[in-house]
Structure 1
Amino acid sequence: MIHWRPPEGFVGDVIPFSYGGRVWLFYLLDRRSDDPTAGPGGMPWALVSTTDFVEYEDHGVVLPTGDRDAVDFDCYTGSVIADGSRLHLFYTGHNPRRGSDRGAFQVVCHAVSEGDPTQWTKVPEDTFGAPNGFVPQDWRDPFVYRTAPDEPWQMVLAARYDDSPDRRCGVVARLTSTDLKRWELAPPLWEPHRYITQECPDVFQWGDWWYLVYSEFSDAFQTRYRIARTPDGPWLAPPRDTVDGRAFYAAKSVLHEGRRFFIGWIPTKQGDAWQWAGNLAVLEAHQEPDGTLAFGLPAEIVAAYDAADVKLSPLDGAADVPGQGAHDRYAAWIGDPMPSHCLITLTVDVASGTQSFGLLLHATPDGEYATILRLEPQRNRVVLDQWPRGRTGPAQWQIHGDVPHAVDLERPCPLPPGRHTVQVLLDGATAQAVVDNRVALSFRPDAPAGHLGFFVTDGAVEVVELRAG
């Protein structure tokens, strides 16, 4: 399972840490017990580790929850760092029974390890909450880093001012420390006056650029990032400021052996509603000259699949080969059924003026019903569609024709005329699509299996290669 999840439970926010030649992926364990006799239980940190994002070693729970009345009954998101031979883990403590009528308080908690990422000792005397001026119910996701080896440690948090409009009071608060025990309030890292708050902040340097990564749920449930020339900002929005769409949330990054990986989770769904937590998913970042980040599948994941050429057969009078037909119609081609776990790679040459093209996933043999990955050059975007769509009534016209695609998954994507490559990783109930090793779109297919197909609308697209396996 490339998109890993524990045997009993789901992956919440992931805290990646590179150490000893492995990537250690701490995560919030969402157990979702349906047993009414189990009683309420807190949320612990669990751990898996890997060297290739293909094979995982499950280490189980490594940071257990506190007792019923403890400030860390729930152990929420944080960060892990090494300071010499000692490891430090900072996390959010939460208890629904401790707070005020505005909600439960959140506090920063500390644990240490003598070099073993699976063994931690909590340091309760280092716990602290929000200072005056900040909402005590939102003081979470501590991320600790240094801007240089001889500089003080910095901690940024998802926080809110207590005297600002609710939807615009979010701030990336900042503190400094010289000993990782006592922390002093510093000027905030970022005040966008735009969000409820910015969850899971993550700061790193790459070449001449600094990056601030965060997840937000005001405009959309997405992980975004900002760039700057200095570690203090000003923080600028790059042309493509999102890591992925709705189905890749709370992504945090890790530098491992000179490569930058983003690890998030693909949420489960209940009907049409996305839920919190799901399956672990990974993207590798690449830096473009203007500081913009491009995202693709790690080479190790691609190498785990043995692909073969897919033979396409025309449907409904389409030309024998894509790219040879007229420009004023819809044309489709269908291939063999695909396994539920496979990697699809499509390389195409797109003619100028083409309206749309893409892949039919889990399609019926006639191509009528499918999950549709549609690339739209005229709009420079990639979207996910589904046919049949939902219905509003029994009449022929009572379909969701006014919902052109899954709008929460729409991704901006440069699609000039010429050659493009699309990869789709199908992993059972989860999937990731990547265009040109730049733009990622994670999703959950609605169908478990079916045929693979290709289509083009109002244009011409030559299929240079189509492989799957």
Structure 2
Amino acid sequence: MKTFKYCIKCFLIIFLVACSSEDDIEISNDQKLLDEKNLNVYPAPTSGWGGETDPYLTTGFTADVMPFYDNGLFHSFFLHDAAFKPEGKGFHPIHKFVSENVSAFSYEGEQIPYGKATEPDFAIGTGSTIKVGDTYYFYYTGFNDKSSFLQSNPRESILLAKSSDLENWEKDEEFRITASENYYDFEFRDPEVFFNEDTNEYWMLVCTQFNDSRKAVILVYTSNNPENNDWKLQNNPLYITSNEENYLMMECPDMFKMNGTWYLIFSENWKDKATHYRMASSPYGPWETPDNDLLDGRYYYAAKTETDGNNRYIFGWTARKFPENDNGNKEFGGNMVVHEITQNSDRTLNYSLPGTTENLFLERAALELDSTIGSTSVIENSYTLNASGDTSTYLFKADYGTKMLRTSLKMDSNSGRAGFIFQNKGSNTNSYQILLEPASNRIVSYYEQGGNLEEINSISFNLETGKEYSIKMVMDETICVLYIDGKKAFSNRIYEMPGNTFGFVSYDMTTMFNNTLMLKP
């Protein structure tokens, strides 16, 4: 299969002819970019990846990332979600990004194409990769809802492609796993395969529903050697949604062990609409739900993890909107966003900015005043907004390009809220705001239009008055990811962000933004 390679993050080899050795700057590989307006820390497929003119083949978004680490590289397979889907064509071929460090991505184009209208993979769903011997096995979901196909076939099944080099894939036409009689074959997908060192066998997780009750369930198949295609369904499901949860499906399951604790991750798009996790001391459970079980907010979905042996990262996508503005509706697919995962002493998980991504931002950028409202003051890099019983804003001039804000935020009351505002320069009443709300212990994003705030997204986070919170916020085109205290991530799609004013806002309390820096690559 021909592979089309386009660089999403472009590096320039810079030869410096220096007049003075004092002016020489040694530039590492991770900083040899540079079209800073198109850094694309959070990549989507390159338009025209195959040199084709059909936008269905070339223009699209990142969906359902399936990461696999091998020989020093992260292979981030993903479902290519075309921006336009003509009637009668298949969809969601598997494409790939490659990275050494989860911050610099090369786009490798199509890896596994969807099949014909008569085949089980007329559309493709999520899967996973494992290496056994010298062969790579890619288990994925086949989807076909054509009435002619459904007359003698289930809608969804588990399929397989093989490769010797992670680039050229051959479908195994003989391999197919379908739902047994107790499970619903319309909803049977997202195989996650890994070697379970505790049980000394390969496990395959599959999400589905019970045939009778339609309750969501995650199944386990086991194999001593995937080369033998001997996957066996285990009698006991790995996880069944509780009556309290009542999830319709638990999509894109992932499972890993960290420091003696097992973690189960899945995504649910009907009730809470987010990615969740559970904890257990055994791979068989019982599974404990942490007080805050969400991995990011409602705009971060289908997240799965991978490790390079030292650090573990979670790969998901931040949803786009259609139409593509802040009034649009959340749609499937968007841009890939990667967080680093660490573990607390109570076994709960943190989601932080990967160090390799943070290290891209080394050049200090100027923050120039655009305008203020209410009472504000500035001392060096610290900004104070006095808004007791009122509203204060401090807006900086518009700036293009990828950047990272660092600041420490402190609030003097739990009766108000404060945070960040992205102001539409064409309107004084339209803005996107990310606010810390201590009264509700939440971080919330709102779209303001005509003076009315509409809630878009939120995460839970314990907030205290008088405490200083460390904020790192990466802004890349229309993706904004806020990290707080290295513990939580909050991803948003903000169409108001590029080329518009940005700044701080405080409602009904005094808020300090200390040690503020804007950094660029």
Residue 351 of structure 1 corresponds to 412
Does the 8 Å CA contact 1:18/1:256 hold for their aligned counterparts? yes
Shift of residue 244, structure 1, vs aligned partner: 1.4
Shift of residue 210, structure 1, vs aligned partner: 0.7
Distance of aligned partners of 1:65 and 1:26 in 2 relative to their CA distance in 1, 3 Å threshold: same
Residue 73 of structure 2 corresponds to 22
Identity of aligned residues (%): 25
**Residue 512 of structure 2 is aligned to residue 462 of structure 1:** yes
**Residue 75 of structure 2 is aligned to residue 2 of structure 1:** no
**Residue 117 of structure 2 is aligned to residue 60 of structure 1:** no
Does the 8 Å CA contact 2:188/2:207 hold for their aligned counterparts? yes
SS of match in other structure, 2:237: strand
Residue 413 of structure 1 corresponds to 461
**Residue 360 of structure 2 is aligned to residue 304 of structure 1:** yes
Residue 292 of structure 1 corresponds to 348
- 1:190 equivalent among 219, 239, 262: 239
Residue 393 of structure 1 corresponds to none
- 2:127 equivalent among 72, 78, 95: 78
Does the 8 Å CA contact 2:385/2:392 hold for their aligned counterparts? no
Give the 5 Å matches for 1:236-251.
236-251=288-303
Does the 8 Å CA contact 1:90/1:108 hold for their aligned counterparts? yes
> After superposition, what is the alpha-carbon deviation per residue over 1:248-298, rounded to whole angstroms, capped at 9, x for unaligned?
111111112411111111222114311111211111112111122111221
SS of match in other structure, 2:285: coil
Residue 315 of structure 1 corresponds to 372
SS of match in other structure, 1:214: strand
- 1:175 equivalent among 214, 221, 226: 221
Does the 8 Å CA contact 1:334/1:365 hold for their aligned counterparts? no
Give the letter for the 2:307 counterpart.
Answer: L
SS of match in other structure, 2:96: strand
Residue 395 of structure 1 corresponds to none
Give the letter for the 1:422 counterpart.
Answer: I
Residue 433 of structure 1 corresponds to 482
Does the 8 Å CA contact 1:309/1:466 hold for their aligned counterparts? no
Q: Which moved more, 1:218-227 or 1:424-433?
A: 424-433
> After superposition, what is the alpha-carbon deviation per residue over 1:222-257, rounded to whole angstroms, capped at 9, x for unaligned?
111111111111111112211112211111111124
Give the letter for the 1:328 counterpart.
Answer: G
Does the 8 Å CA contact 2:103/2:357 hold for their aligned counterparts? yes
Distance of aligned partners of 1:161 and 1:101 in 2 relative to their CA distance in 1, 3 Å threshold: farther
Shift of residue 118, structure 1, vs aligned partner: 0.8
Residue 140 of structure 2 corresponds to 91
Give the 5 Å matches for 1:258-277.
258-271=310-323, 272-277=328-333
Give the letter for the 1:153 counterpart.
Answer: Y
Gaps of 5+ in 2: 1-39, 48-58
Does the 8 Å CA contact 2:63/2:81 hold for their aligned counterparts? yes
Matched pairs, number:
450
Residue 286 of structure 2 corresponds to 234
Does the 8 Å CA contact 2:370/2:501 hold for their aligned counterparts? no
Give the letter for the 2:125 counterpart.
Answer: Y
Q: Which moved more, 1:171-180 or 1:304-313?
A: 304-313
Give the letter for the 2:292 counterpart.
Answer: R
Shift of residue 91, structure 1, vs aligned partner: 0.7
Distance of aligned partners of 1:343 and 1:101 in 2 relative to their CA distance in 1, 3 Å threshold: farther
Distance of aligned partners of 1:310 and 1:365 in 2 relative to their CA distance in 1, 3 Å threshold: farther
CA distance in 1 between partners of 2:387 and 2:178 (Å)? 66
Distance of aligned partners of 1:218 and 1:370 in 2 relative to their CA distance in 1, 3 Å threshold: closer
SS of match in other structure, 1:278: strand
Residue 276 of structure 2 corresponds to 224
CA distance in 2 between partners of 1:367 and 1:375 (Å)? 22
Does the 8 Å CA contact 2:262/2:281 hold for their aligned counterparts? yes
Shift of residue 107, structure 1, vs aligned partner: 0.9
SS of match in other structure, 2:358: helix
CA distance in 1 between partners of 2:84 and 2:377 (Å)? 53
SS of match in other structure, 2:196: coil
**Residue 437 of structure 2 is aligned to residue 387 of structure 1:** no
Shift of residue 326, structure 1, vs aligned partner: 6.4
